[in-house]
Amino acid sequence: MKPEDFEKQLQRQPLREVPTEWRAEILRSARAARSSPVTSHDVAWWREWLWPSPQAWAGLAAVWMVILGLNATAPAGPGAVAKRSPAPSVEADATLAAQRRELARLLDNNFAEPTPAPKSPPGPRSEGVVPSKA
């Protein structure tokens, strides 16, 4: 059925009257809505948006405030911490070098380089071989 045919069919149908009790109730509701003042709840659309769980939204806002506060108090970047730390002393450098030499000496004495096992040649693969009939 084409939209034009449907519209013509609707125009041919007689209009039915709304039941009297329905009409009175609808008009009463409309008058009451018109006469009641607009409440702040109607104006605050954001309350409707946040209504399903206001505690969760408040908690999320608090977490974001803490994150922003920590971010504001954090140093400028990773180099800022390195700039604040003092350079190692000559004694600390000498001690570290001695420890590295001792570790290298201990590792050379205790662990010999394992020799790799000789590789054996691969065996025949029979998966793709079809036996021939002689």
DSSP 36: S
| Span 33-74, pLDDT tens digits | 887 666 555 557 777 777 778 888 889 999 999 999 998 888
Per-residue pLDDT band for 128 (boundaries 50, 70, 90) equals low
pTM, two decimals, is: 0.28
Q: What is the predicted pLDDT for the residue at 18?
A: 79
CA–CA separation, 134 vs 130, rounded Å?
A: 13
Q: What integer pLDDT is reported at residue 101 of this predicted model? A: 92
Distance, CA of 7 to CA of 112 (rounded, Å): 96
* Domain spans in the chain, listed from the N-terminal domain onward: 49-75
Q: Which two tokens stand for residue 115?
A: 């020799």
Residue predicted with more confidence, 14 or 54: 14
Termini Cα distance of the chain: 78
Helices (H), strands (E): how many in the chain? Answer: 7, 0
Tell me the average pLDDT across 89-102.
91
- Band (pLDDT 50/70/90 cuts) for residue 121 is confident
